[in-house]
Copies of this chain bind each other. A is one copy, B any other.
Amino acid sequence: MKIGELASATATKVETVRYYEKIGLLPPPARTSGNYRAYGSEHLARLSFIRRARDLGFTLEAVRELLTLSDDKAQSCEAVDGIARVHLTEIDRKVTDLTALRNELDRVIGSCRHGTVADCKIIETLGPRVRANIV
């Protein structure tokens, strides 16, 4: 398999595949006589794994750990579970934060009376608390 084929099979860009190789996530494949990368099914499997984990929001470092763990089939699955749970907690925090921010922004937008910028409540909300002695 050439890099373009591997890339399209995993919905990845060619540059990203090379990047994963460079940072050691994807092992360097064999080369053809013309110096083209020649991938096998094990590369396809590994890259699929990486992409799936990335889609679930795992960082590349987490993916690296998961890959290492998944290579040792005899090991307990607890470490894997742990990584996933930590990640879940992080996502929950993000959703909470983002929802709070969303509501705040919604409130700010709702206050807009569509006048001029001078009266704009959005700008006003963003601006500093104006004290009387500061013009």
A residues adjacent to B (C-beta < 8 A):
41, 44-45, 48-49, 52-53, 55-57, 66, 69-70, 72-78, 80-81, 84-85, 87-88, 91-92, 94-95, 98-99, 101-102, 104-106, 108-109, 112-120, 122-123, 125-128, 134
Contact B128 A77, beta carbon cutoff 8 Å: no
Which of the listed residues A91, A94, A117, A134 has the most CB atoms from chain B within 10 Å of its own CB?
A117
Interface SS, A side: helix
Q: A88-B106, A95-B98, A104-B56 are in contact. Are A77 and B116 (CB under 8 A)?
A: yes
Q: A94-B98, A95-B99 are in contact. Are A52 and B125 (CB under 8 A)?
A: yes
Complex CA gap A57/B100 in Å reads 11
Distance in angstroms from A16 CB to nearest chain B CB is: 17
Contact B112 A81, beta carbon cutoff 8 Å: yes
What are the residues of chain B within 8 A of A122 when measuring CB–CB?
77, 80-81, 84
Complex CA gap A116/B118 in Å reads 64
What are the residues of chain B within 8 A of A70 when measuring CB–CB?
117, 120, 123, 126-127
Distance in angstroms from A22 CB to nearest chain B CB is: 22
